């Protein structure tokens, strides 16, 4: 059974559209958490290999990395779901959380990339990490688009909505601050 779940995760790499649709139907939440943990471990280990870190307290660093990334993932899922619902998308936040975790599947390739890059050079490692980053972003976009059955433009709006909201709030805060400073001198 676990091998079938790993097969699903690996098929996300070569056949993402059908696999995302399968994940939407099956909703493997606990296995998506395992993928999330493995992706974080892979990220930490590959960075240790590339940047020659000697992690004497690997467990502590891993704990805080998992905790912070889990909170970021939960907040991202909640905000993406909220914005997608506003844009008339129909989906489930738990399924979105699973899909966001599964979109981290390419990160599992960071350890082999770091090891190969150790012998082949840092240029190959940088190239591999860049490909893995954009592959993960592609899976994120495709997951939201398929889950909520919305257009690509709405999907990009959902993904960049937290950045847009923070930018707008910063502009408003800046205007209020400038108005407050001006009112002191008047």
∠ CA(74), CA(67), CA(37), 5° rounding? 85
For residue 185, how many C-alpha atoms fall within 13 Å in the half-sphere facing its CB? 4
- Asked whether residue 54 carries a pLDDT value surpassing 80, the answer given is no
pLDDT for position 39: 93
Rounded to 5, what percent of the chain is helix, strand, coil?
90, 0, 10
Measured between alpha carbons, how far is 117 from 39 in angstroms, rounded to an integer? 19
Tens digits of residue pLDDT in 134-146: 999 999 999 999 9
CB 102 within 8 A of CB 139: yes
Tens digits of residue pLDDT in 76-110: 999 999 999 998 888 888 999 999 999 999 999 99
Measured between alpha carbons, how far is 30 from 36 in angstroms, rounded to an integer? 10
39 backbone dihedrals φ, ψ, rounded to 5°: -65, -40
Mean pLDDT score of the chain: 88
Q: How far apart are the first and last CA of the chain?
A: 72
pLDDT for position 18: 87
């Amino acid at each position: 059974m676990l091998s079938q779940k790993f097969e699903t995760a690996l098929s996300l790499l070569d056949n993402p559209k059908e696999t995302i649709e399968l994940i939407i139907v099956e909703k493997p939440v606990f296995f998506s958490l395992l993928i999330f943990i493995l992706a974080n471990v892979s990220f930490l280990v590959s960075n240790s290999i590339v940047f020659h870190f000697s992690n004497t307290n690997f467990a502590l660093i891993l704990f805080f990395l998992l905790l912070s990334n889990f909170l970021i993932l939960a907040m991202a899922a909640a905000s993406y779901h909220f914005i997608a619902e506003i844009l008339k998308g129909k989906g489930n936040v738990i399924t979105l959380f699973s899909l966001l975790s599964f979109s981290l599947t390419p990160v599992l390739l960071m350890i082999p990339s770091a090891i190969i890059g150790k012998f082949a050079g840092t240029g190959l490692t940088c190239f591999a990490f860049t490909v893995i980053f954009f592959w993960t972003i592609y899976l994120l976009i495709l997951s939201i688009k398929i889950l909520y059955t919305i257009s690509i433009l709405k999907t990009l709006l959902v993904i960049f909505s937290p950045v847009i909201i923070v930018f707008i709030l910063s502009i408003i805060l800046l205007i209020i601050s400038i108005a407050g400073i001006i009112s002191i001198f008047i």
